[in-house]
Copies of this chain bind each other. A is one copy, B any other.
Amino acid sequence: MPEITNARHVVNEYTSGYPIPGQTTVYDTTQTIDLDTVPLNGGILAKVLLLSVDPYLKRFFNPGSPVPLGSPITSYGILKLIRSEHEKFTTLGAILIGHGNTRHEEYTIITKEEVASGSVTALTPYENLPLSVYIGAAGMPGLTAFTGWKKYADPKEGETVFVTTAAGAVGSLVVQIAKHAGLKVIGSAGSEEKVKFLKELGVHVAFNYKTTDTREVLKNEGPIDIFWDHVGGDSIDAALENSNIGARYIICGAISGYSGQPAPVHNLARIMYSQINIYGHFVIPLIPQYQAAFDEEIVPRLADGTFKYREDRLDGLEKAPQALLDVLNGGNVGKSVVVVGEE
């Protein structure tokens, strides 16, 4: 087979500001690949079907990024096996899931060492769940919601929880888990469309933080017992001003500071008299402890429709640079997924 183009989504320059598609985050078509002859050296060759676009990917474009200039970034992805030199994967055409280090390119070689380290595993999806859900609500974002809730929330029926970026991939599962646990759920989002989605999810108090003052809502609907935050800065201050004694804060993101100076927090001293606990939540180390419970409690409920999810599907890897900018500035509504190839 002749060499064909292997398009990639690469880091072209580092910036602490928003990544600019075509300048910072570049769709690059200069590389080619011969699928039949490219050396695998004991690894596997896969066709990339789907790639996840998440706010945390911004860090690959920051100064100090672990990704060299000109190289593709990595994320969670869904793959199809094309060739294998590794005994772990022998069924050509099998569907695989790449755990965080799937390179943003149309065809990708996963080295022998990467395969051995468990960076990809085989996937057997539920009939009712599209593959893309396994990099969304049934994948890392879902696990983020579930592990943080299990580890830190300590929820009691009748308590009040406030979730920022509540319509996002993580937040939308958090609000549903909280609602099912019998809590009063307050959720904020950045557009009327997202607020509508939150209401469809059964969020008790859904509001657009751009047109409604967060402090007013919390003053009227709080005080809050659990705060799940993806925003940082002023949202934490607003929560501190309206927290119940003994509140738990799960800090799961700080999107307000990803592309510029992080917003400072002024009211941190309030955590003392209010005996608030603040947990910095990072999903990866918690997965071994909670994966089995997640597979049992959450994934079947996604398949049977108890828990809902929403996706923004974008066709073509060339959309990935813009998709990243969108998730950083709120331009998407559901979980952002780039469809790179067909099964």
Contact = CB atoms under 8 A, between A and B. Distances in A.
B285 A280 contact: no
A77 to B, nearest CB: 22
A117 to B, nearest CB: 20
Contacts of A269: 232, 251, 254, 257, 262
A189 B253 CA distance: 34
A257 to B, nearest CB: 5
Contacts of A233: 268
A45 to B, nearest CB: 32
A285 B155 CA distance: 20
Contact of A275 (B257, B267, B272, B280): B280
A92 interface: no
Number of copies: 2
Interface in A291-306: none
A208 B195 CA distance: 52
A232 B271 CA distance: 11
Given A262-B266, A264-B264, A285 B277 contact: no
Contacts of A280: 270-278
A282 B277 CA distance: 11
Interface string A246-268: 00000111100100011011111
A289 B257 CA distance: 40
Interface in A69-123: none
A282 B278 contact: no
A236 interface: yes
Nearest to A255: B269
Contacts of A236: 268
Nearest to A253: B272
A279 interface: yes
Contact of A264 (B251, B252, B265, B285): B265
A65 B243 CA distance: 20
A277 B275 contact: no
Contacts of A232: 268-269
Contacts of A266: 261-262, 264-265
Contacts of A264: 264-266
A254 B277 contact: no
26 contacts: A232-B268, A232-B269, A236-B268, A251-B268, A251-B269, A251-B271, A254-B269, A254-B272, A262-B266, A264-B264, A264-B265, A265-B265, A268-B268, A270-B280, A271-B278, A271-B279, A271-B280, A272-B280, A273-B280, A274-B280, A274-B282, A275-B282, A275-B285, A277-B277, A277-B279, A278-B278
Interface of A: 232-233, 236, 251-254, 257, 261-262, 264-282, 285
For the complex of A and B, 10 pairs with smallest distance between CB atoms: A271-B280, A264-B264, A254-B269, A278-B278, A276-B280, A272-B280, A265-B265, A264-B266, A275-B282, A275-B280
